[in-house]
A and B are shown apart, each in its own frame.
Chain A
Amino acid sequence: MSDKKGKPVPLANEGLPPGERGLFCDAPPREYAPAAKIVEDFWNWARSQSLWILGFGTGCGAIELRPLMTSRYDMYRFGIQPRPTPRQSSVFVIGGYASVKTLKRIVRSYEQMMGPKFVVALGSCTINGGMYWDSYNTIKRIDQYIPVDVYIAGCMPRPEALLAGFQELKRIIRAGKAEGQNLYARDFERYKANQKRVIKDWNMPDYNW
């Protein structure tokens, strides 16, 4: 962990009742400082070969993950498997439209994931609002609120497209370019400001570690 900028400003956690503030993380996330190139390359190869996705279907596109799990498309042969908790997952699949209510859970889950972590967003809804472009309660682009490594277009994308997207993610990881997590740490304040602009009843910690 790099600590170049000195001690980070402690988080206010103002959304929480005073008695609970001490229970949660009080420091913003920090950027990951890579090890020597050859070591990091090896790690990146290992990371790309074991993508554990968080089993949290956030929109209608999540239905396309089911065929991936079964024998016809069989994502396990690519080293991809679902996990029940963010603590064990390295890939977050945003499965389509995200209402503000879901966005709260997305932010909490994303922040709880251990690094290194990656985000795959599928469906036109995550890219530009899709058919929910005029909805009163659905955000129009997910990358304002959490960083996204790979987009998969379609409404909804077929399982083959998902597999292609995962292969693309692997390429990005192996090339050491999956920088979402660092982007989030670097632009933490902007992401938080965006999140708080749409989540009007902010009653959760500022960083969920």
Chain B
Amino acid sequence: MRELADMLSGRYGAREWHDQRKDLSSVTVDASKLRDVLTWLRDEAGYAHLAFATAVDEIERKVFRLTYTVHNYGTAHGILVHCEIDRDRPVMESIHRLWGQAWTYQREMREWYGIDFPGSPRVDEEFVLEGWEGPPMMRRDFDSLAYSDATYAERPGRETRDPAAYMKEKLYPEADA
């Protein structure tokens, strides 16, 4: 794995190589280099399969972290390629020409996080939601509870308890904290 890590850092300035398991490593690259890195991994290093692509909302650092998982069937090894984009300008280069299935993930990220992938087929169409009018619901500043309270009728009388305190009261009231 070492030579692959060196290769990626030498060619593309990849950093933070980390072997999570024997068969899984992760690495971070600049968003502008992502497409080149993935192309190189696919065509030169045998990582021919795009297994997954998703986003994480790192609201504290004001970025979206995008993660692309590629897999090498020859060596049964996978790499998570991370990159970060500005949360206030969530636009990313589309990779649907590298892997045909990528547009599905991109459409998902578009709907759930509001990340745009210009040129990606059908990226603006609904993905799992129908008739959704709120903000992208996987963004962490979206308040699911407030939205639910405002939108869906509630049955009165529902009580909520703290599970730990309630179990203690019911099951072992004699135990002290």
Contact = CB atoms under 8 A, between A and B. Distances in A.
A101 B153 contact: no
Interface stretch (A4-12, A64-72, A198-206): A198-206
B158 A129 contact: yes
Interface string A123-166: 00001110001111111110010000000000000000000000
B88 to A, nearest CB: 23
Contacts of A135: 144, 148
A137 B130 CA distance: 10
A198 to B, nearest CB: 6
Interface stretch (B6-14, B16-24, B79-87, B131-139): B131-139
A198 B153 CA distance: 10
A133 B151 contact: no
Give the dominant DSSP class at B's interface.
Answer: loop
Contact of B148 (A127, A128, A133, A141): A133
B76 interface: no
B contact residues, range: 20 to 34
A136 B134 contact: yes
Contact of B130 (A104, A144, A197): A104
Nearest to A143: B155
A183 interface: no
Contacts of B155: 127-129, 140-141
Contacts of B153: 139-141, 144, 194
B177 interface: no
A129 B158 CA distance: 9
B172 interface: no
A100 interface: yes
Nearest to A197: B151
A136 B144 contact: yes
Interface in B127-162: 128-134, 137, 142, 144-145, 147-148, 151-155, 157-158
Interface string B95-137: 0000000000000000000000000000000001111111001
Contacts of A129: 148, 152, 154-155, 158
Contacts of A137: 129, 132, 137
B133 A200 contact: yes
B131 A201 contact: yes
Contacts of A199: 131
Contacts of B142: 136
Contacts of B148: 129, 133-136, 138, 140
Contacts of B129: 101, 137
Nearest to A104: B130
B112 to A, nearest CB: 11
B125 to A, nearest CB: 12
A144 B137 CA distance: 24
Contacts of A144: 153
Nearest to A132: B148
Given A104-B130, A134-B145, A140 B137 contact: no
Contacts of B151: 197-198
Interface of B: 128-134, 137, 142, 144-145, 147-148, 151-155, 157-158
Top 5 closest pairs, chain A to chain B, by CB: A201-B131, A200-B131, A134-B145, A128-B155, A140-B152
Given A140-B152, A140-B154, 10 more contacts: A101-B129, A128-B154, A128-B157, A134-B144, A135-B148, A137-B137, A138-B148, A139-B153, A141-B153, A198-B152
15 contacts: A100-B131, A128-B154, A128-B158, A129-B154, A133-B148, A134-B148, A136-B134, A136-B137, A136-B144, A137-B132, A137-B137, A138-B152, A200-B132, A200-B133, A201-B131
